[in-house]
């Protein structure tokens, strides 16, 4: 499994290194697709997994309007926002088209496993979380509607290697903390919060990376709590 971190908190994920899925779509997406980016520049990326409907995570979708249809994976709550509150999907349907793949995290269903077409070697698990800020969504609604915000746990079937990814400001609970502690690599936003139940130093992960606007360049030192700052083009291989 290979992960490439993109400026602005986005990332791309691959099982074999030839086909990729974007985890959220940063607004300056064309820069990454037109410039060789650890293999990303060599082919068209049309699979997208969204963790929420934050503008920083969906702002690049319209930049993907030319080309083949987009395979879009998201929860019902995110699809509703992108269809009504911020109707990006209606615009995309007039251009390239969108194949909707619903991640069934909604109501009382707080987690769900799913697969992404083109990445047969990976198993994804979506975990409902509380978003700390959802533009366009009332604060009380965002707090109680399951699926407005999710974290992702990804397992490589061949090796058992595990990635935990929680981009965007999220409040993680005890269940998500268990996934984080057992992951081989952890990617979280610099504003994400979780229960202070175990020292980060005791986690299994060899790579613990801070995403988001707080991330700096490759010359920036790792933070004192054991996390390193992400930088554009960072490659993580598991």
Better pLDDT: 114 or 42: 114
User: Which CATH code fits 2-237?
Assistant: 3.60.15.10
Phi, psi of 12 (to 5 degrees): -130, 145
Which residues are bridge partners to 74 per DSSP? 102
Residue 62 DSSP class: G
CA proximity to 152, closest of 165, 134, 139: 165
Is residue 50 pLDDT above 50, yes or no? yes
Q: Which of 52-61, 197-206, 223-232 has the lowest mean pLDDT?
A: 223-232
pLDDT digits (tens, 9 = 90+) for 119-129: 999 999 999 99
What integer is the mean pLDDT of 75-90? Answer: 91
User: Mean pLDDT across the chain, nearest whole number?
Assistant: 83
pLDDT digits (tens, 9 = 90+) for 206-237: 899 988 654 444 434 344 478 888 888 888 99
Is residue 69 pLDDT above 50, yes or no? yes
Between vectors from CA 180 to CA 39 and to CA 49, what angle results, nearest 5°? 45
Better pLDDT: 194 or 137: 194
Confidence of residue 136 (pLDDT cuts 50, 70, 90): very low
Better pLDDT: 201 or 164: 164
Distances (CA, A) of 127 to 48, 124, 216, 220: 17, 10, 28, 31
Q: Which of 52-61, 73-82, 133-142 has the lowest mean pLDDT?
A: 133-142
pLDDT of the residue at 39? 54
pLDDT of the residue at 110? 95
C-alpha torsion angle, residues 170, 174, 175, 180 (rounded to 10): 70
- Name the residue ranges covered by the structural domains of the chain: 2-237
Is residue 238 pLDDT above 50, yes or no? yes
The pair of three-digit structure tokens given for residue 56, joined into one six-digit string: 């920083």
pLDDT of the residue at 221? 39
Confidence of residue 168 (pLDDT cuts 50, 70, 90): confident
pLDDT of the residue at 202? 83
What integer is the mean pLDDT of 70-87? Answer: 93
Contact call for residues 119 and 15 (beta carbons, < 8 A): yes
pLDDT of the residue at 143? 47
Better pLDDT: 138 or 11: 11
């Amino acid at each position: 499994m290979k992960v490439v971190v993109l400026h602005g908190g986005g990332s791309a994920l691959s099982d074999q290194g030839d086909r990729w899925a974007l985890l959220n779509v940063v607004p300056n997406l064309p820069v990454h697709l037109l410039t060789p980016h650890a293999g990303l520049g060599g082919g068209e990326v049309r699979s997208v997994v969204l963790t929420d409907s934050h503008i920083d995570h969906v702002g690049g979708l319209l930049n993907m309007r030319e080309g083949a249809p987009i395979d879009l994976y998201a929860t019902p709550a995110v699809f509703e926002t992108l269809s009504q509150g911020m109707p990006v999907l209606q615009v995309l349907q007039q251009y390239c088209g969108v194949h909707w793949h619903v991640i069934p995290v909604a109501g009382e269903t707080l987690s769900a496993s799913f697969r992404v077409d083109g990445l047969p070697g990976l198993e994804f698990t979506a975990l409902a979380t509380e978003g700390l800020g959802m533009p366009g969504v009332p604060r009380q609604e965002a707090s109680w509607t399951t699926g407005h915000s999710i974290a992702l746990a990804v397992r490589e079937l061949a090796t058992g290697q595990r990635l935990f990814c929680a981009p965007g400001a999220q409040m993680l609970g005890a269940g998500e903390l268990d996934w984080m502690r057992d992951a081989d690599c952890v990617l979280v936003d610099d504003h994400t919060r979780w229960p202070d139940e175990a020292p980060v130093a005791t986690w299994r992960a060899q790579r613990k990376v801070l995403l988001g606007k707080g991330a700096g360049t490759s010359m920036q030192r790792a933070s004192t709590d054991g996390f390193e700052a992400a930088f554009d083009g960072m490659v993580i291989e598991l």
